Amino acid sequence: MIVNAEGQILGRLATFVAKQALLGNEIIVVNAEKAIVSGKRKSVFREKMKKLEIKNLGNPRKGPFHQKRPDRFVRRTIRGMLPWKRPRGREAFKRIQVYIGIPREEIKKKHGIEIEKAKIWELKEIKKDMENYVTVSDICKFMGGKW
């Protein structure tokens, strides 16, 4: 199952993908950088900066680790919707792949799916018109991500 994240609210997208993965479906999310987070730009950035300030001063190698690439950012959000501490949650997480843009060659090589022939889910039923939103790529650039 290929899901297009362009214009989708990140939380709604993450719950849909998590449910499908728990049902046993292989999920490929494309255009992760174009997913949106609802809220005013300043408040969303302020919230993310507060999270960046949280550090383990005793040993920085132990985390917390903040994702600064859009594909990893979206994947981490999806992980938050899964029962991660149980084996079925971890197995479901392994069935999820997230990509920046639509890498046709990589998807064909890894999954054996041709994008032109495959059905790409647009998820219009969970889409919502938003006035105030920020894209995932803007959040990641603000946090210092380079990809």
pLDDT for 64: 81
pLDDT along the chain (147 residues), means of 10: 90 93 93 91 88 80 84 93 94 94 86 83 74 88 83
pLDDT for 25: 92
- Can you give the pTM of this predicted structure? 0.84
* Rounded CA separation 29/15 (Å): 13
Q: At what angle do helices 70-80 and 136-143 cross, to 10 degrees?
A: 110
What is the phi/psi pair of residue 63, to 5°? 95, -175
For residue range 83-111, what is the model confidence (pLDDT) as tens digits?
999 999 999 999 999 999 888 888 888 88
CATH of domain 2-143: 3.90.1180.10
Q: At what angle do helices 10-22 and 87-94 cross, to 10 degrees?
A: 110
pLDDT for 114: 83
* Rounded CA separation 108/115 (Å): 8
Q: Is there a cis peptide before residue 70, judged by omega within 30 degrees of 0?
A: no
